[in-house]
Structure 1
Amino acid sequence: MQSVLAQTPIGRTAPAWRRGGKASGIAIPPASRRLSTVANFSPGGKVQHTWSIERETQHTYVDPAKWIDEAAIFRALEVTKEWAKDSPRVREILEKAKEKAFVTEHDPVNVGSKSEFVQGLSLEECATLLNVDENNVQLRSVLTDDDLREEVAALQRQGHRRILALTGESPKYSFENFLHAVDVIGSVHTEPFGSIRRINVEIPPLSVSDMRRLKETDKVGTFVLFQETYHRDTFKKMHPGGPKSDFDYRVLTQDRAMRAGLDDVGIGALFGLFDYRYEVCAMLMHSEHLERHYNAGPHTISVPRMRPADGSELSISPPYPVDDAAFKKLVAVIRIAVPYTGMILSTRETPEMRSSLLKCGMSQMSAGSRTDVGAYHKDHTANTEANLGKLAGQFSLMDHRPTNEIVDWLMAEGYVPSWCTACYRQGRTGEDFMKICKAGDIHDFCHPNSLLTLQEYLQDYADPDLRRKGEEVIAREMGEDASEPISPQALKRLERKMKQVKEGKHDVYL
């Protein structure tokens, strides 16, 4: 039985990085694999970045054009274009992905990672999403401290332990404001035992010096930034002006995080802007670059498809729509190529599609998410209800099931819902996490921890019927009929820790 992790978003959208090399088994000419360090390559000179100013000016980087080789990708796609029509080959890819999904039991289905949108202001000149200044359909909002506390409390009452905090880039909302918001989120506690144990962030690109400040909060887990598209010409069309128009600065964000010691990073592309095959290859090159230079690839990879958004004609008719069959294939290819990563599945997909994608290798999903600022508590806030007609989400959601239904469904599908934050708390991040994963030892941490967090959730937030079902799953997974046997040593530790949880102790992990 696989575990599925959950996380909850609070904020607004962001991007990622690049290098030329092998991508998912596609042969790329040796000349394209040379990695030359450009000693004086320092992105950001073309565009002024004021939201996060670099104070560590000594850093230089490998030119992204050297590690995302557009010409090599197009050559490879041309050589292999007939393979996509080969049904047996495609089925083989899907089967391999399924095997990898079961091999990488370290990714329990992380359920309930919710996004909390801290503010909805943006100064970007952006043709893709709702960041465009001309788009006045969505009311721009900033959460007050009290609003934010109510949002976090609402999420905690659903049983969430992990939050994804998001924000846009605006002179009216500074990085200092966001650091303060992180402190506020971490300070909220609700009855019976509500607390946020890991805050992942999806915010505009930061300098190395500000990445260090973010890490020093000791509350942040993964820094997530989507490149949106790795195709330079398309990126330029989508972002003709503003800070976001600097492709190189954006794609080097994960490098800056790594150098600051914030070594759990997430990457992603928004599928629908350009050819999905190109985006997958480029994303894998990005992953390879991080692994080669920092001994740790991306902790997570996100693969959202474009969905209709208020005021965005492009989102209604994407230039490169990705159908369900192609989407399953790209998920399978990424799972095979990057077996250690957590693959994140959003509520943009229907329940039926989410079920199919879990079998292709997805390992993390959101539950009960909202994409509008203040949405988790606004139904109970009088002064926000007045704005309900104006408030709108960034994009359309397709799965509206609440967290408890998602948990019930996952267990019925044969997965273990998990709210684990143990690796982050124990310092098993970045290179240290990768070593454990690649040695095949992570299962003895992740599977026990998923069961411990499930038991805690059942005791605190489940109704009697859901608790009964969940405890049956836990008993089976700790017994002789376990889908993935735990080593005797890990099982002994799990039994001891499980006893503590059942006695009422919280935040127990291996």
Structure 2
Amino acid sequence: MASVNAREWAKNVIKQEEIDKYLINGKDFIDEDLIWDKLSKNSEPDKEYIRGIIKKSLSITRLDPDETAALLNVRDEELWEEMYEAGAEIKRKVYDNRIVFFAPLYCSNLCVNSCTYCGFRKENPHEKRRILTMDEIKQETEHVIDAGHKRMIVVYGEHPQSDADYMAESIKAIYSVQKKAKNGNGTGSIRRVNINAAPMSTADLKKLWEVGIGTYQVFQETYNRDLYKKLHPAGPKSDFRWRLYALHRAMDAGIDDLAIGALFGLYDWRFEVMGLLYHAIDLETQFGIGPHTISFPRMTQASGSELSTNSEYIVSDEDFKKLVTVLRLSVPYTGLIITAREKSEIKKEVIQVGCTQTDASTRIGIGGYSEAAKLQDEEKQQFMLGETRSLDEVIREMAEIGKISSFCTAGYRCGRTGDKIMGLLQECVEGKFCKLNAILTFKEYLDDYGSDETKAIGEELIKKEMEEVRNMEFYQKHNLIGKLEEYYERISNGERDLYL
């Protein structure tokens, strides 16, 4: 499609009436002065006050902005250690000890926006533009399945050639792929397709709902509107509020599984944590449902972007661990996603304070899975990765530290989404089912894709998990132990996709 048509298309993306309907007295939910006021007023928190906040978090109750601001201002390292321990405990209470794995698939790097930190921006002459055909998407999906994945998040540039109709077709294409497992024990497929895509109108979002979208993920990037304007000088993404209410429109379209995030390194990390909290609060206020996941990628080197390596707000490893911990305590029911942007060492450490999901075997070039050998240069990627190990290597490391890998998609297919899953998470019930389904899907992975070394370590972990289940009152009371053992035996004999 000619660039002039792309420009005309971009002019018609934003629907002002689909912004205005969510405003309260003409204002959106981000008030920069209020955020800074909260951070200032809570700059010297009392130690016992902080311990009271930690206790509230452990009751799986969302914190209010003043409480979160107080946590962000803690300077006492002893208190931080208590917060790290609380984050890990909250994660165990809500989600047990499993880590959910997924793979990203980049379908297009055509883009009408001018984001100064992104390699996809339209002015970047180094980016080699490409959009995958449906056959190429199926081929990429086969490679992702061959690694052992069951979940995928699909990423698109904002462009008329990768509009909602293209996205809907790509989702259907991914779901259609069936591939014999590497070890010959079963057939692999992607059971859950989430998408990371630009804000859309409610009508376009309904198209994605109709073809079975999983989670709809939109990152605000920064909640500072003046900086946002500077970083996004042109394109539909330059409209702060159009992006801010993207997930509100998704709710109206029927998509009740939502994911928020910010790009840390663009602005002060404490401010951005507060912005994410206010975003969660507004979704709860207007729809009764908070975000299912929160992401916190750190900005890494992007081709042709000086800002990506020279920002004054680059987040250190120490502060990164702190911001993830505060998010875990502030919104305790929500999943936290740490991505392959991070190096394996920091990922392993931060997972311990409360992360629930991560990617592995990640390729972010367009066609990066089937053409991996040809797509190693950074000029063909949106940003640089820190974690480049295979899924099998990462899973083995997780098992060594007692974390069971999960490929579960049961909750979504059993209707445990939206307000249903939020209630189950807050009551610490959903994690009980997560544990069972993690055992079953981990067994699938080990039999179908695991290396001998990973299989040996993984099966020892499964024995431990099964014994825990047998000894827990919840499973005894609800007669779930027998069903788990039955399903486990059936999977061991070659059946697949059994879940509770």
Residue 164 of structure 1 aligns to a residue in which SS? strand
Aligned in 2, Cα 1:506/1:121: closer, same or farther, shift over 3 Å? same
Residues of 2 paired with 1:486 and 1:131: CA distance?
49
Aligned match of 1:498: 488
In the superposition, relative to structure 1, how do residues 231 and 283 fare at CA in structure 2: closer, same or farther (>3 Å)?
A: same
Matched with 1:195 is 189
Map of 1:67 onto structure 2: 29
Q: Deviations over 1:266-292 (max 9, x none)?
A: 000000111100000010010111112
Corresponding residue number in structure 2 for 1:223: 216
Letter in 2 for 1:413: I
> What amino acid is the match of 1:276?
W
Q: Under a length normalisation based on structure 2, what TM-score does the superposition of the two structures give?
A: 0.87
Is 2:446 the partner of 1:458?
yes
Q: 1:68, CA displacement in angstroms?
A: 2.0
> Does the aligned pair in 2 maintain the 1:54–1:209 contact within 8 Å?
no
- Return the letter of the residue paired with 2:190: I
Q: Given the alignment of the two structures, is residue 404 of structure 1 paired with residue 366 of structure 2, yes or no?
A: no
2:65 aligned partner? none
Q: CA deviation at 1:354?
A: 0.6
Q: What's the counterpart of residue 401 of structure 2?
A: 413
**Residues 51, 171 of structure 1: 8 Å contact kept:** no
Cα RMSD for the two superposed structures: 2.3
* Cα distance between partner residues in 2 of 1:426 and 1:316: 44
Alpha carbons of structure 1 residues 288 and 53: separation in structure 2 relative to 1, 3 Å: closer
CA contact (8 A) 1:309 1:315 kept: yes
Residue number among 274, 287, 298 corresponding to 2:267 in the alignment: 274
**Which structure 1 residue ranges, 5 or more long, are not aligned?**
1-46
List per-residue Cα deviations over 1:14-66 (Å, max 9, x = no partner): xxxxxxxxxxxxxxxxxxxxxxxxxxxxxxxxx98567576997982134844
> Closer, same or farther in 2 for the Cα pair 1:201/1:449, shift >3 Å?
same
CA contact (8 A) 2:19 2:245 kept: no
The answer as to whether partners of 2:18 and 2:249 remain within 8 angstroms in 1 is: no
| 1:134 maps onto 2:96 in alignment | no
Question: CA 1:293–1:73 in 2, change beyond 3 Å: closer, same or farther?
Answer: same
Matches within 5 A, 1:129-168: 129-168=118-157
Cα distance, 1:475 vs structure 2: 1.3
Q: Using the alignment, how far apart are the partners of 1:107 and 1:301 within structure 2?
A: 18
More moved, 475-484 vs 498-507 = 475-484
Tell me how far apart the structure 1 counterparts of residues 378 and 317 of structure 2 sit (CA, whole Å): 32
Is the Cα–Cα contact under 8 Å of residues 52 and 210 in structure 1 kept in the other structure?
no
Shift of 1:107: 7.1
**1:326–1:404 Cα change, 3 Å:** same
Instruction: Pick the aligned partner of 1:245 from 228, 235, 238.
Output: 238
Amino acid at match of 1:212: K
Instruction: Find the residue that maps to 2:348 and give its secondary structure.
Output: helix
d(CA) in 1 for partners of 2:292 and 2:192? 14
CA distance in 2, matches of 1:485, 1:137: 59
User: Does the 8 A contact of 1:372 with 1:391 survive in 2?
Assistant: no
Q: 1:313-369: per-residue Cα shift (whole Å, max 9, x none)?
A: 100112311111111111001001111111001111111101110111111111011
Which amino acid in structure 2 is aligned with residue 143 of structure 1?
Answer: L
Per the alignment, residue 436 of structure 2 pairs with: 448
Question: Within 5 A, what are the aligned runs for 1:35-74?
Answer: 60-63=21-24, 65-74=27-36
Cα shift readout 1:134-155 (whole Å, capped 9, x = no counterpart): 2111211111222211110000
Distance 1:487 1:50 in 2: 55
In the alignment, the residues of structure 2 paired with residue 126 and residue 262 of structure 1 have an alpha-carbon distance, to the nearest angstrom, of: 27
Unaligned runs of 5+ in 2: 1-7, 45-72, 182-186
CA contact (8 A) 2:164 2:208 kept: no
Q: In the aligned structure 2, how far is the partner of 1:207 from the partner of 1:270?
A: 23
Could you tell me whether the CA contact under 8 Å between 2:19 and 2:241 is conserved in 1?
no
Name the CA shift for 1:416/1:389 in 2 (closer, same or farther; >3 Å): closer
Letter in 1 for 2:200: L
Could you tell me whether the CA contact under 8 Å between 2:289 and 2:418 is conserved in 1? yes
Structure 1: how far apart are the matches of 2:348 and 2:250?
Answer: 33
Contact 2:165 2:207 in 1 (8 A): no
Partner of 2:208: 214
- CA–CA distance in structure 2, aligned partners of residues 454 and 405 of structure 1: 14
Identity rate, percent: 36
What is aligned with 1:262? Answer: 255
Q: Pick the structure with more helix per residue.
A: 2
TM-score, normalised on structure 1? 0.85
Equivalences for residues 331-480 of structure 1 within 5 A: 331-379=324-372, 385=374, 392-480=380-468
Any idea what SS the aligned residue of 1:227 has?
coil
Q: How far apart are 1:411 and its partner, in Å?
A: 0.2
Whether contact under 8 Å (1:51, 1:170) holds in the other structure is no
What whole-Å deviation, never above 9, does each CA across 1:418-476 have from its counterpart, x for those lacking one? 00000111111010101111122112210000000000111111123322221211111
